[in-house]
Amino acid sequence: MSSTVPEPQRSSSEIGWWKDVRSASEMAERLARSHVDKQHLEHRLTELVKENTLLKIQSSVAMRDLMAERQRNQQDRERLDGEMTGLKSQLQQAEQRAQDTAGAGRREAESAARERLLKDDFEKKIEFLKTQLNKERQGFANQLQEVKAKMADCICGEIRIGRDVQRPQPHAALPKGWMIRNSK
């Protein structure tokens, strides 16, 4: 594991500590603490790699679901466009029949009433479809924001959507115990 984790730079105070004459028990204690810290870091690294893998899997599943939903929406739009075209043609046919039948006022009134009913029905369907489409868009926007938020919190640094994030400084990843000892 040490081949994948870069060695941290040693501060001059730590190098100086080793140059002074120390007892074997002091050196053993220092080495034991260093070993425990190293094990802790290796354990944390393993946890972070697992978490990163899980986030990548979740991200790919969410993206796949989003793409499938987009495809279904496209198919729904095409179907709705076809229905709207059919309704328009029905309306035109009704208008044409109304013009063709040059009957009495009663027939004209009936066709006008039918035309109004068809138009009202058509407008209601269009409003309903618009409302549904807006709800779906909002839902997809929320899902996309959730995926972006999850990916923005990912420590891997490999997957970022629309964000330029600076990498943390190496000392920021060290345990607080190390930073206190190094700052003395």
Q: In this structure, is residue 1 part of a structural domain?
A: no
Average pLDDT over residues 164-176: 53
Residue 105 has pLDDT above 80, yes or no: no
Q: How do residues 109-142 score in pLDDT, each as one tens digit?
A: 888 899 999 889 889 988 998 898 889 889 988 9
- Report the chain's terminal Cα–Cα distance, integer Å: 29
**What HEC string does the chain produce?**
CCCCCCCCCCCHHHHHHHHCCCCHHHHHHHHHHHHHHHHHHHHHHHHHHHHHHHHHHHHHHHHHHHHHHHHHHHHHHHHHHHHHHHHHHHHHHHHHHHHHCCCCHHHHHHHHHHHHHHHHHHHHHHHHHHHHHHHHHHHHHHHHHHHHHHHHCCCCCCCCCCCCCCCCCHHHHCCHHHHHHHHC
For residue 15, the tally of other CB atoms under 10 A from its CB is 9
Whether the predicted model's global pTM rises above the 0.85 cut:
no
Q: In this structure, is residue 134 part of a structural domain?
A: yes
Domains contained in the chain, number = 1
Residue 7 has pLDDT above 80, yes or no: no
Token readout for 17 is 């500590």
Q: In this structure, is residue 177 part of a structural domain?
A: no
Full domain range(s) for residue 135: 24-152
Distance of CA 112 to the CA centre of its chain: 51
Q: In this structure, is residue 159 part of a structural domain?
A: no
Q: In this structure, is residue 14 part of a structural domain?
A: no
Q: Of the given ranges (44-53, 54-63, 153-162), which has the lowest mean pLDDT?
A: 153-162
Contact 177, 37 (CB under 8 A): yes
Contact 48, 155 (CB under 8 A): yes
Instruction: In whole angstroms, give the CA distance from residue 119 to residue 105.
Output: 21
Q: In this structure, is residue 180 part of a structural domain?
A: no
Q: In this structure, is residue 162 part of a structural domain?
A: no
Q: In this structure, is residue 128 part of a structural domain?
A: yes
Residue 53 has pLDDT above 90, yes or no: yes
Nearest C-alpha neighbor of 1 from the set 44, 32, 34, 53: 44
Instruction: In whole angstroms, give the CA distance from residue 161 to residue 153.
Output: 11
